[in-house]
Amino acid sequence: MKFGIFDHLDNSGLPMQEFFENRLKLAQVYENIGIHAYHMAEHHATPLGMSPSPSVFISALAQRTKTLRFGPLVYTLALYHPLRLADEICMLDHMSGGRLQLGIGRGVSPIEIQLFGFDPQKAQAMYLEGYQVIKQSLTQDTVNFEGEYYTFKDVPSLLKPLQKPMPPIWYGTSNPPSATWAAGEGFNVVTNGLPTMVKEVTGRYRAEWTRLGRDPAQIPFMGTTRHIVIADTDKEAMEIGRRAYSRWYDNFIYLWRKRNTKPLYTTYTESFDEVVANGQGIAGSPATVRSAMLKQAAETGINYFLLRLAFGDMTLAESSRSANLFNEHIKDALIEQYQKAA
């Protein structure tokens, strides 16, 4: 059992220079408490994501930390030229000393893809082709590819990543059947869903891993993300959570409200209390949060727990306190439970 951070880097209302500086300071806190990796979203034309170029933010993280891993979850491949992105991946992996975690996907928001002038219906096919081109570029000296969207002939590929043959791949899903494909590819997989859906994802992943005859001790990460607030008392944590989540939800729903429609594949609601009740949020004293996280980890079968400790207008002090209380009172209990079950 390991722990990661997931961060939309949604608009908190602070001036952007202060906003980014606070996130970099938080990354140092995460490193100090032994977080495995910091995963960030990519969003465009919405306050849900104020880091629309993950590579730029990652380059700053590489200079401010020494051991923390990091990466996008995910690069929205339909919006990138795959050869250009492959070069960025190699540069970032070397600049960070081999700490890049490579999240790739089609992107969760069809509105954002459409705003860039692309057909959302083609995003999945573009993603799959783009991934094949990137994989060639990272592992071969010459790229030759002929597809519906990309065609390359005898393109020299001079840059290679530090991690061989390539950085760990991460795949985000809201569709449990895709866990079977991810297991076949050996990708790490993450989902935002309800606990029942998370359990289905890990179950399908493990079943395919076993069917392929692979060593269960070598199974990749299967994780879920949760909004988490830890304070001295349940009351204080819920008050912080309600306030911060209200802004986060406004950021989350922004583009959909402009289109008078609703997001696909989500169970997030406007009420933080409802999100806590359905298991997608956890807030309380260390004892309360420890109990809830132990229960979810056991029920869902995950081996990677991603914490959303900074969201909405949560302050640097509030997020840092949650991180430190998690480290002091919760982390070891989750590791112990996982080891006993293994």
Assign residue 205 the CATH number of its domain.
3.20.20.30
Residue with tokens 């199974």: 219
Q: What percent of the chain has pLDDT over 90?
A: 96
- For residue 276, is pLDDT > 90? yes
The pLDDT score that the predictor gives to residue 275 is 98
Range 267-293 average pLDDT: 97
Q: How many CA within 13 A on the CB side of residue 146?
A: 2
Rounded to an integer, what distance in angstroms lies between the CA atom of residue 183 and that of residue 189? Answer: 8
pLDDT digit string, tens, across residues 110-135: 999 999 999 999 999 999 999 999 99
The pLDDT score that the predictor gives to residue 182 is 95
The pLDDT score that the predictor gives to residue 108 is 87
Cα 49 vs. chain centroid, distance in angstroms? Answer: 13
Q: Is residue 187 part of a domain?
A: yes
Q: Is residue 102 part of a domain?
A: no
Question: What ranges in the chain are assigned the alpha helix state H?
Answer: 16-32, 54-64, 82-95, 110-115, 123-139, 178-185, 195-211, 234-258, 272-278, 286-300, 316-329, 331-341
pLDDT tier at 94 (50, 70, 90 boundaries)? Answer: very high
The boundaries of the domain holding residue 20 are 2-73+169-341
**Cβ-count burial 172-211 (b if 16+ within 10 Å, e if not):** bbeebebbebbbeeebbbbbbbebebbbbbbebbbebbee
The pLDDT score that the predictor gives to residue 117 is 94
Q: Is residue 144 part of a domain?
A: no
The C-alpha angle with vertex 46 and arms to 45 and 48, in degrees rounded to 5, equals: 145
pLDDT tier at 333 (50, 70, 90 boundaries)? Answer: very high
Does the predicted model carry a pTM greater than 0.95?
yes
pLDDT tier at 220 (50, 70, 90 boundaries)? Answer: very high
- For residue 264, is pLDDT > 90? no
- For residue 244, is pLDDT > 90? yes
The pLDDT score that the predictor gives to residue 140 is 98
- For residue 213, is pLDDT > 90? yes
pLDDT digit string, tens, across residues 3-60: 999 999 999 999 999 999 999 999 999 999 999 999 999 999 999 999 999 999 999 9
Rounded to an integer, what distance in angstroms lies between the CA atom of residue 104 and that of residue 87? Answer: 15
Rounded to an integer, what distance in angstroms lies between the CA atom of residue 38 and that of residue 317? Answer: 18
The pLDDT score that the predictor gives to residue 184 is 96
pLDDT digit string, tens, across residues 160-197: 999 999 999 999 998 899 999 999 999 999 999 999 99
- For residue 265, is pLDDT > 90? no
Q: Is residue 175 part of a domain?
A: yes
Q: Is residue 118 part of a domain?
A: no
Q: Is residue 109 part of a domain?
A: no
pLDDT tier at 212 (50, 70, 90 boundaries)? Answer: very high
Mean pLDDT estimate for the chain: 97
Q: Is residue 308 part of a domain?
A: yes
Split into its structural domains, the chain has a count of 1
Q: Is residue 156 part of a domain?
A: no
